[in-house]
Structure 1
Amino acid sequence: MPTQHEFQFGNHTAATGNRCMAPAEFEFSPKNPYRKTGSTLTITLLTATLALSAPVAGALAAEAPREYTIPAQSLNSALMAFAAASGVELIFTADTVRGLSSKGLSGRMTPEQALNRLLAGSGIDYRFVDGRTVTLERKASPVPASSGAGDAFALGKVTVSADAVYDPNDPYSKDYAVPNATTATKTDTPIMETPVSIQVVPRAVMDDQQAIRVEDAIKNVSGVIPGASDGNYMDAFIVRGFDIGNNTYRNGYRTQRQQSETANLQRLEILKGAAAMLYGRIQPGGLLNLVTKQPLETPYYAVQQQFGSYDLYRTTLDATGPVLDDKSLLYRFNIAYQNTNSFRDFISTERIFVAPSLTWNVTSDTQFNLNLEYKHDWGVDDYGVPAVGKRPAPIPISRRLGQPQENFENDLLLINFNASHAFNENWKLRLGVNANSNEFSQEDIPPRILEADNRTLQQGAWFMDISESSRGVNLDLVGNFQALGMDHSVLFGGDYYSYEQKSGGYANRYQPIGSAIDINNPVYGGVDFRRLRSLKRSSSDFFYTPEEEWFGLYFQDDITLFDKLHILGGGRYDWATTIAGFSNTSFDAVNKTATRNERFSPRVGILYQPWSWLSLYGNYVESLGSSNGLNISNKPFDPQTATQYEVGIKAEWNRIMASLAYYHLTKDNLLTTNLSTGVNEPLGEARSQGIELDVSGKITDQLHVIASYAFTDARVTKSNDLSGGTALEGRRLPHVPEHQASFWVKYSITDQFSIGSGVYLVSQREGDTTGSFQLPGYARWDAMAAYRFDIGKNRLTAQINVNNILDMEYYKSGQTWTRLRIPVGEPLMVLGSLRLEF
């Protein structure tokens, strides 16, 4: 008969025979089934040798598959996440897993399959004590002999403490630090092992700051500022000194330029520097990837009502859960409605947004995802204020120098299908298909000329219909293997992208239409909109049909040596075609011109991790930029190209992450707009170099922080002779501050009550390429307070945010080709919210 042993676990006694049961003491909150309570998990383990037990795998192998999402992290944390998700009891000592990491796993599989994947390449064996208990030991370690005191012996009590495992899809997560990001390598490589600069703004930050626009969230990242949006209907950003144009992606797929909705966003990932190796023809400053909320196995529902200054009303709904009882089919549904006026005269906008998504786990190895987004916007554009002398015009910031009848309307539809299949635990195939459609109409009276008296503003006309569409296909093969004592994580892929636009209308944009407005004493209503609409129908004078198409093949190998040295190498070859044409008579008369380019773009990086908490890295990248458009002779400009060198340091202290980077980025074939003629001309070469610091995480269990600082020296380094005769070499690039900083902190006074505050600093910027005027620097102070009411298993959170508490006047970055469109920053604004989660 087996010898009986008693082991004490807190107030519980477990009687066992010939084995030691050491259940991990996980506590789960009934209000949040997604994560463990508290910031620290304490696992009390009693370990023992197994003298008589034989492997018993049948129960786990026969269990039904379930969904696992465990990011790459330390092996200790990955195993704790697995134990919590599967209910399997794991027995191991701290020494067994010390210093080891796991690549994580994602997908539907049995517990045994999941454990095999987590331990792959770790040098650790496992054996089953029974159907629910597993012991782990290093392969090189022999099983110790029995102590002679019975059939098993117990080592001393071991306590292992670690932070709660981060789940990127947890709707209740309050984490500010995100350990993994897919944008930099198209794999789930930990940020600490990625030799490039990538920053993440998680949903927790967006919720605490009530960020309802992407630009509201991205202000937390170093070296990123709002760019020239040409009104208030699209996003625009400057990263590392350069406008990134259309470099906005959604779940890794390129989208058309728009003002993105945030209701279904889980996080923002910002990849700094040239990124053409994986993503094709993009601008070199960086790339913004919007990662959306994914369907979840556990039901979750949230309704939020926001209300604020200037008649802002916004309602959002988030619902997710299984469709079928076996949880093989999951759904998520996001809705947003927003209606708001503005501190600016005549400005109002309205939005309807719907985003359903489905996930079908066909088997444990095969998954299909379908995502759809529809967004309808309508409202009035805002072109800001003109410059007078060296500064923005000294007029009230509420004054809009346009006509009340101006309007725009936009319908955008996005469809994405992606699928993945794991051939085995090491190789996976991914396919993605993406399609966008956008219908845009606009009736604007934009500013054209400010007369010499610095008060008479002549106006033009822009009555336009724009139809655009794009399609993209990605195919990736991801694999892991060992060769010559090295671990390889490889990516082979190809993509196709095409874009078409058809713009037509009445575009007397650059000539006065006979009506002027006095910026100091405006009188509105002097423009005959009926006549302009009639001209649009009968006398359209603008017909523009740009097209783009490219194919790309790429490869990447992430090599790991000695668990400390990571070498990233890869390259991409692009075949790109740009077709564009213009006519002022009809679409049939458009004379299209095609240009074709080919280029190989390499990327190499190296990262050394002397300790698990510290990484030193460097990289070199080249890129082929997007189309440069047409010159005045209807001929295409040469495409923009770029090179970048970067070195940096990353650190992670369990609760908090930090990165410090120095970069040197050069961009060739840069264009500028001649302010005298309004025509694009080749500028030459520009260089941006600087230092960036980012910190995010929690200092204590109650204190969360996200902060950044950037020093940016962005200048023209080679200048062609412009027709205007202006010398530009050595001048700073427009709208790029030399210094930029942000600091946001949230303190949880109790589990229910929290407060937060932040400051945002931007130094003086040049207003245009020639340096004819400057935008003054500014400091903005924001604050928040929130209280959570627990109603049974439900949560009701009341929150208030106050932005620009000191009501400072400031100006955002505007267009580089005109002095007449300087966006005005929002004055003091109060935003309230009630959010019910259940």
Structure 2
Amino acid sequence: MKTSSFVYSLLWFSTFAVFSSTSVQAELDVDTQRIRTQNSSIPQIRDRKAFLRENRSATTLKEWEKNLETHHSNLVSQNSPVPVTGVKLNQVDTGLEIILETQDGKPLQIDATKFRTENNRLIADIPNAVLTLTDVQEFSADSPTTDIANVRVIQTDASNIQVVVTGKDALPKSEVTLTTGALSYSLNSEGDTAEEEVVVTGEGRTPYRASSSGTATGTNIPILETPFSIQIVPKDVLRDQQTTRLEEALLNVSSVAIQGNASSRTASFSLRGFENAPTLRDGFRRYGSFQASPEIANLEQIEVLKGAASILYGEIQPGGVVNLVSKKPLSNPFYEAELELGSRGLFSPRVDFSGPVTPDAKLLYRVNALISTQAPFQNFNTNFERAFIAPTLAWKISDRTDLGFSLEYLNKRSPADFGLPVIGRSVVDVPRDFVSTDPNDAIESQFLSVGYDFEHRFSQNWKIRNAFRYSSYDYDFNTVLLPFGFDEETATIGRVFASQDGQNENFSLLTNLLGEFTTGSVKHVLLFGVDLNRSQDRIFSVGDFLTFLPLNIFNPVYGQPPTPSEADLPPFGGNYITTNRLGIYVQDQISLFDRLTLLAGIRYDTVDQTNKRVPGLFTEPGKTTQTDDAFTPRLGLLYQVSKTVSLYGSYSQSFNPGSATTAAGDVIEPERGEGYEVGIKTELLNRKLLATAAYFDITKQNVAVTDPDFPLFSVASGEQRSRGVEFDIVGELTPGWNLIASYTYTDTQVTEDSNPDLIGNQLFGVPKHSASLWTTYEIQRGNLQGLGVGFGFNFVGERQGDLANSYEVDSYFITNAAIFYRRGNWRFAVNFKNLGDVKYIESTSNGRESGNFFGEPFTVIGSVSVQF
């Protein structure tokens, strides 16, 4: 009985062992097949025989069952966080392998269905894991391959880590594999994969949603972790809206108001109620009386930082800054050509070429170029004409050192539009094509920028960045009829022949050191920088300001008398302003706890200005010097309530000497401002959608505003205040359905002024209520795949026309639409702007005699583009 029982048990166990060995293999095969047919969420077992060998030590049924249970639990769930003790990068033929080493070889709980892409980043969230690296709190490696800029492995909270692979300007084309033990996962959905790996389909890029920005802190941290309000308009929005002007693009962002074009010399707008918000190009400020209207064909995205941020950018307005981020060279060949045709004879071909120069892809290039011509909607005889080219080079000197060169040139000719006058409490009611001066008035301008960007990484945690830019902006009014007085009773403009030419040159050198380190359990991201700038601003005007040539706005007669040459006009005056600037700043981002971050920084600026006055009708020769300096602090506090919700608050100051001059030739004293802000940021719909809400309270003292009597010059106001609430939402609602929208309530007023009549007045050109919406949907599958439509609106409320609040500009509501179709490498699109052909005043700039501008009428723009 005992012998038979023993033999029976032995035969039963042997049969079970063979069956178990086969069943393990079968289980793996079934699992793999299920993965492929369902959601590709579980990895391939890279070495099945090794797994079986590891379990041959089992000698009893209970041991086999225990091993099988362990294997199943490793694939599905674990109870306690698994320590990740090391991270290694292995460059393979197909791309890059990221190896996560764990304590005792324990597998990690990974759900590849939650892998995602954001902009140019591949992201893998790994739950139930904790980083236990020996000498650092996180892992970071720069440029491990030619198309990968950085690999980071970070602890997002107490029991979750995140792997982030950032491509160079685009998603990595090569295969990126995440390996732990015998398991391997693919992070990207494209590219060749090794035979033993299962391809995991990613969630796809979110076109309208950018996840990080370097504009706010200089450290390129996620927007959700930034204790300031920053909004990004990516190139996908610019393309879908077929945007041709910066002003159009910025209407997608809350708290932005258009405020004219400074007589066709520059794009001017306000942020959070304050005018003349500066425009940066790749972090460089262009100083001077006027900033060239930028060409947007070379933009990767537009980043709008709200609030005072002098600590990073020196002389700015407290409402914020706009940073235009240029396109960078790509490591893979890219060729795109586009042709735009549209209303009023629009003709605009554009090309964008990029790729490697050398076989090893260590030297890359990119060239963007455009020419454009279009007639104005007013009865001018001059078209809007632009010629633009922007070549760039990127040289990977070594794995730790990069050097880039860039050049940008824009030649522009356009009508010299001075806007409309005011009768009573309203802008004059004239046809939209009315010209208030003369149809032949024109202005020519040229903009040139050239420079380099250098970066060297001493280690994974420390790097130095150095960059230089030279820029020159030249403009020249041909002899024009300048509005100089308006008689409201007779509706007559008193025009005078005048001309002005100016040049602004900037030499800027930026250097900063960025490092990450820990003090105990506290993590620091330290930024130390030095800025040097020299600007030379020359403005010279001529004009016969004693001879008036009247024009009745309701019965205009143009062309008499003949236009004189500039040489025949007496000098009006001018200024030669030379400014030297030095800025030194330090900033520390301190992770106090898992979810609490403090950002603190301070900057010191010293500015020396020399103003040489050229004698003229209203100015005497002379020379004045002015030296100003200031400390400007900034504080920010952010608490992450969860992975997708952050609360933040901030305080910051601004300092802005500027170069605005009075009609007497004196430089206006520096403006100073300070602001408070509290807000909430949240990511929705699996982090595809980002929403930001904020309350702000900002004051500014000694404000330079346009002189109402001499519009070519400025005067100083006292103190102004702006308070309000803003809301922005951007991203993807469902696959193919994208959205960008905003709303702002702004309450502005003059709180102090030498003119008591101005106290309590609203600031000009700033609506109390404004809102915008743009949404597109593209069919994702079927016979109509690639067909899409877009729709949106812009609402701008009533605005005061000048600081005296002597007139008001009506609100407007315009709608826009689009239809587009993608087929292979081709894209066809037609956009309809101002569908109702609404007649409205788009902007006002503090003047009753001029400076009020109509918005564009109904406009159609069609385009065809191809990538090859």
Report if TM-score (shorter chain) is over 0.5.
yes
Alignment of 1:328 onto 2:359? no
Greater C-alpha radius of gyration: 2
CA 1:125–1:661: 2 relative to 1, 3 Å: closer
Alignment of 1:135 onto 2:180? yes
Is residue 411–residue 440 contact of structure 1 (8 Å, CA) maintained in 2? yes
Displacement of 1:380 after TM fit?
A: 1.6
CA 1:559–1:415: 2 relative to 1, 3 Å: same
Is residue 244–residue 282 contact of structure 1 (8 Å, CA) maintained in 2? no
Q: TM-score normalized by structure 1?
A: 0.83
Displacement of 1:404 after TM fit?
A: 2.7
Residue in structure 2 matching 1:415, options 442, 450, 459:
450
User: SS at the partner of 1:429?
Assistant: strand
Displacement of 1:585 after TM fit?
A: 5.2
Is residue 580–residue 630 contact of structure 1 (8 Å, CA) maintained in 2? no
Residue in structure 2 matching 1:179, options 192, 199, 211:
211
Alignment of 1:227 onto 2:259? yes
**Identical-pair percentage:** 30
Q: 1 CA distance for matches of 2:257 and 2:597?
A: 31
Q: 2 CA distance for matches of 1:65 and 1:360?
A: 21
Q: 2 CA distance for matches of 1:648 and 1:476?
A: 29
Q: 2 CA distance for matches of 1:97 and 1:780?
A: 52
Query: What residue number does 2:640 align with?
Result: 609
CA deviation string 1:5-48 (max 9, x = no partner): 64332387877345579xxxxxxxxxxxxxxxxxxxxxx99589
Q: Which stretch has the larger CA shift, 260-269 or 627-636?
A: 627-636
Is residue 464–residue 503 contact of structure 1 (8 Å, CA) maintained in 2? yes
CA deviation string 1:611-663 (max 9, x = no partner): 01100000010111132634455443321000101100000121100000000
Q: 2 CA distance for matches of 1:193 and 1:15?
A: 37
Q: 2 CA distance for matches of 1:162 and 1:454?
A: 69
Q: 1 CA distance for matches of 2:582 and 2:152?
A: 34
Query: What residue number does 2:747 align with?
Result: 713
Q: 2 CA distance for matches of 1:715 and 1:106?
A: 50
Query: What residue number does 2:185 align with?
Result: none
Q: Which stretch has the larger CA shift, 101-110 or 795-804?
A: 101-110
Displacement of 1:379 after TM fit?
A: 2.4
Alignment of 1:595 onto 2:665? no
Displacement of 1:534 after TM fit?
A: 3.1
Paired residue type of 2:574? F
Q: 2 CA distance for matches of 1:463 and 1:125?
A: 60
Paired residue type of 1:813? S
Q: TM-score normalized by structure 2?
A: 0.80
CA deviation string 1:283-303 (max 9, x = no partner): 211100000111011111111
Query: What residue number does 1:298 align with?
Result: 332
Q: 2 CA distance for matches of 1:76 and 1:572?
A: 45
CA 1:759–1:454: 2 relative to 1, 3 Å: farther
Gaps of 5+ in 1: 22-43, 50-54, 69-74, 138-157, 167-173
Query: What residue number does 1:694 align with?
Result: 728
Q: 2 CA distance for matches of 1:670 and 1:56?
A: 56
CA 1:136–1:558: 2 relative to 1, 3 Å: farther
Query: What residue number does 1:641 align with?
Result: 672
Q: Which stretch has the larger CA shift, 328-337 or 221-230?
A: 221-230
Gaps of 5+ in 2: 1-20, 37-43, 53-72, 79-84, 99-109, 164-175, 183-197
Q: 2 CA distance for matches of 1:262 and 1:104?
A: 36
Alignment of 1:241 onto 2:273? yes
Query: What residue number does 1:625 align with?
Result: 656
Displacement of 1:414 after TM fit?
A: 0.3
Query: What residue number does 1:745 align with?
Result: 775
Paired residue type of 2:542? Y
Displacement of 1:454 after TM fit?
A: 3.8
Query: What residue number does 1:554 align with?
Result: 585
Paired residue type of 2:373? N
CA deviation string 1:459-498 (max 9, x = no partner): 1233122222111000010011111211111100010111
CA deviation string 1:567-591 (max 9, x = no partner): 10001001111222322259x9842
Q: Cα RMSD (Å) of the superposition?
A: 3.8
- Write the mapping of 1:419-430 to structure 2, written as runs, cut at 5 A: 419-430=454-465
Is residue 258–residue 765 contact of structure 2 (8 Å, CA) maintained in 1? no
- Write the mapping of 1:233-382 to structure 2, written as runs, cut at 5 A: 233-245=265-277, 247-255=278-286, 257-346=291-380, 347-382=382-417
User: SS at the partner of 2:47?
Assistant: strand
Query: What residue number does 2:33 align with?
Result: 10
Residue in structure 2 matching 1:765, options 793, 799, 808:
799
Query: What residue number does 1:487 align with?
Result: 523
User: SS at the partner of 1:461?
Assistant: strand
Q: 2 CA distance for matches of 1:743 and 1:132?
A: 39
User: SS at the partner of 2:837?
Assistant: coil
Displacement of 1:216 after TM fit?
A: 1.2
Is residue 768–residue 819 contact of structure 1 (8 Å, CA) maintained in 2? no
Displacement of 1:279 after TM fit?
A: 0.5
User: SS at the partner of 1:727?
Assistant: helix
Is residue 45–residue 91 contact of structure 1 (8 Å, CA) maintained in 2? no
Displacement of 1:407 after TM fit?
A: 1.6
CA 1:288–1:542: 2 relative to 1, 3 Å: same
Residue in structure 2 matching 1:754, options 788, 791, 794:
788
CA 1:104–1:665: 2 relative to 1, 3 Å: farther
Query: What residue number does 1:663 align with?
Result: 696
CA 1:684–1:86: 2 relative to 1, 3 Å: closer
Q: 2 CA distance for matches of 1:124 and 1:344?
A: 59
Is residue 264–residue 443 contact of structure 2 (8 Å, CA) maintained in 1? no
- Write the mapping of 1:39-58 to structure 2, written as runs, cut at 5 A: 46=75
User: SS at the partner of 1:343?
Assistant: coil
CA deviation string 1:68-112 (max 9, x = no partner): 9xxxxxx9999968999999xx999643379x999896842269x
CA deviation string 1:99-153 (max 9, x = no partner): x999896842269x99974358999899xxxx9873179xxxxxxxxxxxxxxxx
Paired residue type of 1:698? E
User: SS at the partner of 1:812?
Assistant: strand
Is residue 213–residue 220 contact of structure 2 (8 Å, CA) maintained in 1? yes
**Number of residues of Structure 1 aligned to a counterpart in Structure 2:** 754
Q: Which stretch has the larger CA shift, 811-820 or 608-617?
A: 811-820
User: SS at the partner of 1:192?
Assistant: helix
CA deviation string 1:427-478 (max 9, x = no partner): 0100010110122211221211112434221112331222221110000100
Q: Which stretch has the larger CA shift, 497-506 or 771-780?
A: 497-506
- Write the mapping of 1:27-176 to structure 2, written as runs, cut at 5 A: 46=75, 60=90, 94-96=127-129, 107-109=142-144, 117-118=152-153, 134-135=179-180, 163-164=203-204, 175-176=207-208
CA 1:802–1:454: 2 relative to 1, 3 Å: farther
Is residue 45–residue 92 contact of structure 1 (8 Å, CA) maintained in 2? no
Displacement of 1:277 after TM fit?
A: 0.8
CA deviation string 1:687-732 (max 9, x = no partner): 00000000001111132111100000011001213xxxx6000000
Q: 1 CA distance for matches of 2:867 and 2:758?
A: 55
User: SS at the partner of 1:10?
Assistant: helix
Displacement of 1:535 after TM fit?
A: 1.5
Is residue 67–residue 109 contact of structure 1 (8 Å, CA) maintained in 2? no
CA 1:540–1:106: 2 relative to 1, 3 Å: farther
Is residue 716–residue 730 contact of structure 1 (8 Å, CA) maintained in 2? yes
CA 1:115–1:730: 2 relative to 1, 3 Å: closer
Alignment of 1:541 onto 2:572? yes
User: SS at the partner of 1:215?
Assistant: helix
CA 1:104–1:694: 2 relative to 1, 3 Å: farther
Is residue 690–residue 731 contact of structure 2 (8 Å, CA) maintained in 1? yes
Alignment of 1:202 onto 2:202? no
Paired residue type of 1:135? T
Query: What residue number does 1:502 align with?
Result: 538
Is residue 407–residue 442 contact of structure 1 (8 Å, CA) maintained in 2? yes
CA 1:91–1:288: 2 relative to 1, 3 Å: closer
Alignment of 1:216 onto 2:248? yes
Displacement of 1:504 after TM fit?
A: 2.4
Query: What residue number does 2:11 align with?
Result: none
